[in-house]
Amino acid sequence: MKPAAFDYVRAETADEAVQQLRALGADARILAGGQSLMAVLNMRLAQPSALIDISRTAELDHVRVERGMLTVGAAATQSSVEWRATLADEVPLLAQAFPLISHFQIRNRGTVCGSVAHADPSAEIPLVLLALGGEVVLRNASKRRTLAAIDFFQGMLMTARAPDELLEAVRFPIATTGQRSAFTEFSARHGDFAIVSAAAVADARGLRLAVGGVADRPRLAQWPAGLRGADLEGALNDFAWELEAQDDAHASATFRRHLVRRLGAQVLARVTETTP
Amino acid sequence: MKQIGRDSLHTVRLQLNGTARSAPCTPRMLLSDFLRDSLGATGTHVGCEHGVCGACTVQIDGVASRACMTLAVQVEGRDIATVEGLCEADGPMSDLQEAFKRHHALQCGFCTAGILMSCDDYLRRRPDPSGAEVRDMLSGHLCRCTGYTPIVQAVLETAALRRAPTTAIPDAISTSED
């Protein structure tokens, strides 16, 4: 199908983008890589009145390390991060997740910030951001604010972004010395949305497990660094039930809980160096 | 800043396979339709129109992308490469196309234009891919004829020949059963 008609604005600067967001109202959408939005428009699941194109906004197209974070601007593609030679050292969890995100051709155009802003509960990048305790930078025409990932994701395709705000950048904490991380997922076919995805991080802060595809948003469990054996298994089982999995066309709630326990145990074993 | 009203015709100018081309379109026109219907470049095929099948894959400034998930107005001034540009119309085929022919890596050909444009980009970035890496890259394309194996062989052979044009093709990838 083809998109319904919309007005088009190409923003040359981030200022223009946020001014247009304010001027055009809540029915306008930001268009970056378009690898979620264009599919939605083509299927007419959304019919925004206007698109504000930031895919060529040079000041938003950056990937850099600053203050211990890998900062990715709103126009930077997933490929531009994935093919970064130093990524596996900087944010190894993100490097592990990229090959599981859709396909090469989609990552070439899809943006990191777009995936975070879209907030699909099965998407990999939001899960990585949550597991690592990353941040999002939001700005409107008058001010800028920074939110922790855990406060940003609010529900199915719902975030704390106000209608007049642009998700300007996301920040992934650089891996600390001794930090271990692991990512895995189960999907029907390679590149499909995950039925369940799991990311684990072990460092000085303790054990963190983030799970996607089960609840209405990526969800995080945090445990003491030394939790092992039956205690960890019990905590993981409790977490699997807390997610309140639902039956849908892709998987039953029972199967999803099973996957949380299995995939959760796998990534936890990898970060705690134990046998699952 | 460029603003185009929903019903306004805007002339999009771009480079198509090295030639300056232009045509008017409204903001909602997809790059895939613009190439086929406005510029007459029908080598790019349209399948699912939501980014799943890969038939419409073209290169935008050398990067393999879905034309169905890109607006024509987004690529104003850019270099667009399509299957028509892989070789001269009456000249010899490119090494990648020759390898596809040798390995019977296509049958009906519907998916082929998109696959070639992906492989062309990928091999420039990854001149020595493993079979698993090629399969991973090809996961973004649906082919209902070949079963993919001949495509993987054609891509690996092209990579091997580019690295060592005079060396015999290794047995591991020259496994055609004829």
Assess B131–A contact: CB distance below 8 Å, yes or no: no
**By CA distance, what is B115's nearest residue in A?**
A105
What angle separates helix B112-125 from helix B95-102, to the nearest 10 degrees? 120
Closest CA to A239 of A270, A255, A260, A208: A260
Interchain contact, B28 vs A4, CB within 8 Å: yes
Gap from A223 CA to chain B (nearest CA, Å):
35
Nearest to A35 among B4, B64, B69 (CB): B69
Assess B32–A contact: CB distance below 8 Å, yes or no: no
Q: What distances in angstroms separate CA A147 from CA A150, A153, A161, one per listed residue? A: 8, 10, 10
How many beta-carbon contacts under 8 Å exist across A and B? 115
Site of tokens 């899960």: A127
Nearest to A1 among B7, B49, B63 (CB): B49
Q: Which residues of A touch B50 (CB under 8 A)?
A: 38-39, 42-43
Residue of B12, B26, B28 to mutate when probing chain A, most A C-beta within 10 A: B28
Interchain contact, A9 vs B63, CB within 8 Å: no
Q: Which residue has the higher pLDDT, B171 or A186?
A: A186
Q: Which residues of A touch B60 (CB under 8 A)?
A: 109
Assess B139–A contact: CB distance below 8 Å, yes or no: yes
Assess B49–A contact: CB distance below 8 Å, yes or no: yes
According to DSSP, residue A255 is labeled H
> What pLDDT score was predicted for residue B175?
46
d(CA B80, CA B63): 9
**By CA distance, what is A100's nearest residue in B?**
B136
Quote ipTM for the complex.
0.93
Site of tokens 């709103």: A74
> What pLDDT score was predicted for residue B177?
42
pLDDT tens by residue, A93-151: 999 999 999 999 999 999 999 999 999 999 999 999 999 999 999 999 999 999 999 99
pLDDT tens by residue, A47-81: 999 999 999 999 999 999 999 999 999 999 999 99
Residue of A61, A82, A104, A120 to mutate when probing chain B, most B C-beta within 10 A: A104
Assess B122–A contact: CB distance below 8 Å, yes or no: yes
d(CA B17, CA B78): 11
Residue A200 sits at the vertex; the CA angle it makes with A196 and A202, to the nearest 5 degrees, is 170
Site of tokens 């699909």: A120
pLDDT tens by residue, B109-138: 999 999 999 999 999 999 999 999 999 999
Residue of B52, B66, B75, B111 to mutate when probing chain A, most A C-beta within 10 A: B66
pLDDT tens by residue, A142-185: 999 999 999 999 999 999 999 999 999 999 999 999 999 999 99
d(CA B50, CA B70): 10
Nearest to A6 among B28, B54, B66 (CB): B28
Listed as own residue / partner, the contacts of B39-42 with beta carbons closer than 8 Å and 24 or more positions apart are B41/B16, B41/B82, B41/B84
> What pLDDT score was predicted for residue B170?
53
| pTM exceeds 0.80, yes or no | yes
